Amino acid sequence: MSNRILILFAHPALEKSRVNRQLLQAVLDLESVTIHDLYESYPSFHINIRREQALLTSHDIIVFHHPFYWYSSPAILKEWQDLVLEHGFAYGQGGSALRGRRLLSAITTGGSEQTYSRQGYNYFTIRELLTPFEQTAQLCGMEYLPPFVVQGTHQIREQSLISRYAQDYRAVILALRDDRVNWESLKKFNHFNHSLEQVITASEASHHA
């Protein structure tokens, strides 16, 4: 089984982000994976609603890939949600177009995991702060997956560590595409990439791109 994956990428200053550039590069060549750069497509924020809705309905798994700005997403992804996920399409009477699909948040944070805790600077955990995205998925009849999170990006200096995160991201997208995810095990984790060996099942197709 092969799932079609749509990655909605939102970064207003990609040239300044070593981590997000490499995460994106790690999945650019994958079949059945569509990379949709919102800032590149809509530099003036004039979003083509019908085009975006057609993209959504032609894919099985949706990924919101973005840096975590002010405990949320960059502005264009919020604008996209406000316009594209409209009543009668994504929710409400007759709004069942996205029902049964899955939604994954793939985010980067400058602060470390420790800063996103009761003892840390940001107090709330990442999962708590992502609640609006989870509820959006619920309202649209989608399943919200534990997020893929890379934290402490301001402190990452080693290229090898960035490469490892990029390899993990590729592994996650491949597993979602090829339906090699242990869904019950995944529910036990706060982040998708906390224990990849426990949630991704091996197969002969695991290295197929």
**CA nearest 139: which of 64, 188, 87?**
87
Dihedral sign, Cα of residue 198, residue 199, residue 205, residue 209: negative
Strands (E), 68-111: 102-108
What is d(CA 11, CA 77) in angstroms, rounded to the nearest whole number? 9
pLDDT interval class at 144 (50, 70, 90): very high
Q: Where are the domains of the chain?
A: 5-207
Tell me, what's the pLDDT at 205?
A: 42
Tell me, what's the pLDDT at 8?
A: 98
Is residue 131 scored above 60 in pLDDT?
yes
pLDDT interval class at 208 (50, 70, 90): very low
Is residue 204 scored above 50 in pLDDT?
no
- Work out the average pLDDT over 69-89: 97
CATH T-level fold of 5-207 = Rossmann fold (3.40.50)
What is d(CA 157, CA 18) in angstroms, rounded to the nearest whole number? 10
The amino acid present at 142, given as its one-letter code, is M
